[in-house]
A and B are shown apart, each in its own frame.
Chain A
Amino acid sequence: RKEVEQDPGPFNVPEGATVAFNCTYSNSASQSFFWYRQDCRKEPKLLMSVYSSGNEDGRFTAQLNRASQYISLLIRDSKLSDSATYLCVVNNAGNNRKLIWGLGTSLAVNP
């Protein structure tokens, strides 16, 4: 089993749609969770950290379920500019300075 697993997609959605990405992680001792966004041929950029209580930033909502070792990202009212790859990232419980990266989920928002 991969340490961080994501559905690779691609997800093709119309503008205005709501889309949800899911991610599972294998190490129950992991403490920090993130969603990064990566545009084609660009560097990853932090979208949001994920907290146990769940957190929201505008159209983006992240949820963490520790019991199920599951992380989600919900994007409401999709914009064309949301088209990117979304990477689920978890800290390495054995070495806090290292992150474990999912392969990413590709999103294309269409006019």
Chain B
Amino acid sequence: DAMVIQNPRYQVTQFGKPVTLSCSQTLNHNVMYWYQQKSSQAPKLLFHYYDKDFNNEADTPDNFQSRRPNTSFCFLDIRSPGLGDAAMYLCATSRAGPDTQYFGPGTRLTVL
């Protein structure tokens, strides 16, 4: 089945220790997104790739970086996690244009 996969599902890190979250897709979609979602809040877009074109949101902290080495994979790097970065991180994909976004199961990040 075509899908969006995220690894790991749960990640525990220490304050300030870099962490990388992974997303892969078999949908062959052009666009890949990273969202941060905290409890009782809507998903907050951090950035997205349209093919290799990176689009950062104006309010995404510099602490968050992303890489997309090929169509299938996209990574979220958090360089120095703070306690406020504890959240669910959601990867999504879509075809180009105003299309439905399909989400992976998310990675729940805990910062100690």
Known: A44-B103, A97-B31, A98-B48. A87 touches B42 (CB 8 A): yes
- CB atoms of A32 and B103 under 8 A apart: no
Quick one: CB contact mask for A10-45 with B, threshold 8 Å, 1 for yes?
A: 000000000000000000000110100000011111
Q: How many A residues, CB 8 Å from partner? A: 20
Expressed in whole angstroms, the Cα–Cα distance for A41 and B99 within the complex equals 24
**Which of A42, A97, A101, A103 is B105 in contact with, Cβ under 8 Å?**
A42
Measured as residues with beta carbon below 8 angstroms from the partner, the interface class of chain B is: 20 to 34
- CB atoms of B42 and A104 under 8 A apart: yes
- CB atoms of B88 and A41 under 8 A apart: yes
**Does residue B108 face the partner (Cβ distance < 8 Å to A)?**
yes
| Interfacial chain A residues near B96, Cβ < 8 Å | 97
Q: Which residues of A contact B (CB under 8 A)?
A: 31-32, 34, 41-46, 49, 87, 91, 96-99, 101-104
Q: Which residues of B contact A (CB under 8 A)?
A: 31, 40-43, 45, 48, 50, 55, 88, 90, 94, 96-106, 108
